[in-house]
A and B are shown apart, each in its own frame.
Chain A
């Protein structure tokens, strides 16, 4: 099955709502609870990254018998140094965002730890695409 959800940049009041919808789908599909837990962490972090850094974005998902594939595409400032962004503790989040408990530099590391494959591609001034794959039977 396929689905997509719009994610609005800067709107923290809705952060997590797309992930919450997808979590419901994963439950309906009877994925293993441990697998759902990991995917929930990964997609929430990717969703919050769009809210915190981009102007707007979309989460596109595709689920088949083998895997859950999630692609987060945004229009935003992009990431200058993806390797640096992957480092635990590195963040460019604003002070305001940090005070809310976001922007601790744990987002991308959390995605990596909770997925089987993570691909980040970015163009400065245009946007970022984050692709997350979780294999169902491992």
Chain B
């Protein structure tokens, strides 16, 4: 799996940054797709993008503790208040897609494996 720059991922997958527009130069080493927080704690790795439908502020705590590169919220879901300010504080952008987890994961996988 290759390393990409987050900004390129955002452009190619047509993601909408909801926060952290100034933080898109970081590297993406992979991705993890799950809505169970303990699963993400146990199995994601530093530098990965996290694809999820969870929108509450605990996603920022998990992403920060795991040093994840960014969070992609699927199906156009809108994060709860405070998520975006926490996102800026932790330096972890929240990105939005209208696609489902299955579709966005498939496209991101192709980018990372291409």
Report whether A100 and B42 are in contact in the complex, using a CB–CB cutoff of 8 Å: no
Q: Given the known A-B contacts A20-B61, A40-B65, are A101 and B37 also in contact in the complex, defined by CB atoms under 8 Å?
A: yes
The interface residues of chain B lying within 8 Å CB-to-CB of A101 are: 35-37, 52, 54, 58
Q: B42: which of A12, A20, A48, A106 is its contact (CB, 8 Å)?
A: A106
With A44-B41, A100-B56 known as contacts, the answer to whether A15 contacts B61 (CB < 8 A) is yes
**Binary contact readout B63-105 vs A (1 if CB under 8 angstroms, 0 otherwise):** 0111100000000000000100000000000000000000000
The closest CB in chain B to the CB of A42 belongs to B41
Which A residues are CB-close (under 8 A) to B36?
A: 101, 104, 106
CA A23 to CA B63, docked complex, whole Å: 13
Determine the residue in chain B with the shortest Cβ distance to A98.
B36
Q: Out of A17, A41, A106, A113, which one reaches B61, CB within 8 Å?
A: A17
Establish whether residues B65 and A106, one from each chain, have CB atoms under 8 Å apart when the complex forms: no
User: Number of B interface residues, CB 8 Å?
Assistant: 20
Q: How many residues of A contact B (CB 8 A)?
A: 24
CA distance A113 to B42 in the complex (A): 9
B65–A45 touching, CB < 8 Å: no
Q: Chain B residues with Cβ under 8 A from A110's Cβ? A: 38, 41-42
Q: Is B62 an interface residue (CB 8 A)?
A: yes
A118 to chain B, nearest CB (A): 14
Per-position 1/0 for A18-29, Cβ under 8 A of B: 011001000000
Query: Given A45-B38, A101-B37, A106-B36, 9 other A-B contacts at CB below 8 A?
Result: A12-B56, A12-B58, A15-B61, A20-B61, A37-B46, A40-B66, A44-B61, A100-B56, A106-B39
